[in-house]
Amino acid sequence: MLKVVGEDIGAFYQHYPRVAAIVTVSSAGRKNAMAVAWHSPVSFKPPLYGIAISPKRYTYQMINDSKQFGINFLPQGQAATVVAVGGSSGSFTDKFTEFNIEEDSAIKTDVSILQDAYAAYECKVVDNRLFGDHAWIIGEIVAVHIAVELFQENGIIDLNLLQPVLYLGAETYCAADKNSIKVLDRNEYGKR
């Protein structure tokens, strides 16, 4: 395998694909939604989830004011919603009205939960730190919304029933190949 080595980092899409998600927020009587690809679980106990957002974004300002956010995971069929939400500013557009986004009610926060989300977390901010040109915002998950029929008994997405929105970078999206699944026992493969 030929590799190019250099110091020009560029867009660094090499760590993709990533599950694309929509962050929701409500503050001062306004609500907003923003597409994110940079997000991750941080801890089981307490249950913490992190999102990376530029402080220039309207969503960042709203999260900073409200100290809460939602993270919504959508099926591949909703990729156009992810793109629409990600390509417009909430400071000028009511994205929920403009893109006909239907909502479910939150139970522990004031954030919108997207009706089309197969899973969503309601989070209360516990930390917010600037790293380079993005802030890493960590929220404690205080409520989970999940379409349990789309998951296997072990909690893993059933790819026969659901394809999550995967982002490859550079405005390119794809779906997971259900035929490529391998279950590898770490007790067998991890022996040293």
User: Hey, where are the domains in the chain?
Assistant: 18-189
Specify the pLDDT at position 191: 67
Q: What stretch of H or E contains 49? A: strand 48-53
pTM value is 0.92
Q: Residue 159: how many CB atoms within 10 A of its CB? A: 17
SS3 content of the chain, % helix, strand, coil (to 5): 20, 40, 45
Specify the pLDDT at position 15: 78
Where residue 63 falls among pLDDT bands split at 50, 70, 90? very high
What contacts 126, CB < 8 A, 6 or more positions away? 48, 138, 139, 140
pLDDT beyond 90 at 192: no
| Contact predicate 111/70, CB 8 Å | yes
Tokens of 107: 């139970």
Indicate the CATH number of 18-189 among 2.30.110.10, 3.40.50.300, 2.40.30.10, 3.90.1150.10: 2.30.110.10
* Segment 135-169, tens digit of pLDDT: 999 999 999 999 999 999 999 999 999 999 999 98
Higher pLDDT, 63 or 13: 63
Does residue 65 sit in helix, strand or coil?
helix
